[in-house]
Amino acid sequence: MDTKALEMFANVVRQGSFAAAARDQNIDPSSVSRVIAALEAELDVRLFQRTTRQLTLTEAGSLYFERIEPLLEEIQHARDAAAEASSQVKGTLRVTASNSFGLKRILPLIPAFAAQYPDLTVDLMLTDTVADLLAERIDIAIRLGALPDSNMVAQLLMQTRYRVVASPAYLGKHGVPKKPEHVGSHNCLLFPITGYRSLWIFRNKKGGLSEVPVHGKLLVTNALGLQQCALAGMGLTLLPVWLVEEDIRAGKLVDVFPQWEVSATNFNSAAWLVYPTRSYVPLKVRVFIDFLKTRLSG
Q: pLDDT per residue over 260-280, tens digit each?
A: 999 988 888 899 999 987 667
Predicted pLDDT at 146: 77
pLDDT at residue 168 greater than cutoff 80: yes
How far is Cα 147 from Cα 155, in angstroms, rounded to an integer? Answer: 9
pLDDT mean over 227-255: 97
* pLDDT, tens digit (0-9, with 9 covering 90-100), for 176-206: 999 999 999 999 999 887 666 788 999 998 8
pLDDT at residue 100 greater than cutoff 90: yes
CATH homologous superfamily of 91-160+269-296 equals Periplasmic binding protein-like II (3.40.190.10)
pLDDT mean over 213-225: 93
Predicted pLDDT at 83: 65
Residues sharing a CB contact under 8 Å with residue 210, sequence separation 6 or more, in sequence order: 180, 181, 201, 202, 203, 204
pLDDT mean over 62-79: 84
Question: What are the Cα distances from residue 68, in Å, to 1, 11, 64, 281, 286?
Answer: 12, 12, 6, 20, 26
pLDDT mean over 94-123: 95
pLDDT at residue 149 greater than cutoff 80: no
How far is Cα 161 from Cα 266, in angstroms, rounded to an integer? Answer: 10
pLDDT at residue 87 greater than cutoff 80: no
pLDDT at residue 85 greater than cutoff 80: no
pLDDT at residue 250 greater than cutoff 70: yes
Domains 3-84 and 162-263 belong to one CATH topology = no
| Strand locations in 69-169 (E) | 91-97, 120-126, 140-145, 153-159, 162-166
pLDDT at residue 4 greater than cutoff 90: no
Predicted pLDDT at 197: 72
pLDDT mean over 151-177: 94
Instruction: Give me the CATH code for the 3-84 domain, please.
Output: 1.10.10.10
Query: What are the contacts of 36-44 at 24+ separation with CB within 8 A?
Result: 36/8, 36/9, 36/12, 38/5, 39/5, 39/6, 39/8, 39/9, 42/1
pLDDT mean over 211-227: 93
Q: 86 falls in which pLDDT band (50, 70, 90)?
A: low
pLDDT at residue 1 greater than cutoff 70: no
Q: In this structure, which CATH number among 3.40.50.12500, 3.40.50.2300, 3.40.50.720, 3.40.190.290 belongs to the domain 162-263?
A: 3.40.190.290
Q: For residues 295 and 152, which has the higher predicted lDDT (pLDDT)? A: 295
Q: For residues 63 and 266, which has the higher predicted lDDT (pLDDT)? A: 63
pLDDT at residue 37 greater than cutoff 80: yes
Proportion of the chain in helix, strand, coil states, percent, rounded to 5? 40, 25, 35
Q: Where are the domains of the chain?
A: 3-84, 91-160+269-296, 162-263
Predicted pLDDT at 194: 67
pLDDT mean over 145-151: 74
Length of the chain counted residue by residue: 298
Least confident of 155-159, 192-196, 203-207, 219-223: 192-196
Predicted pLDDT at 84: 64
pLDDT at residue 36 greater than cutoff 60: yes
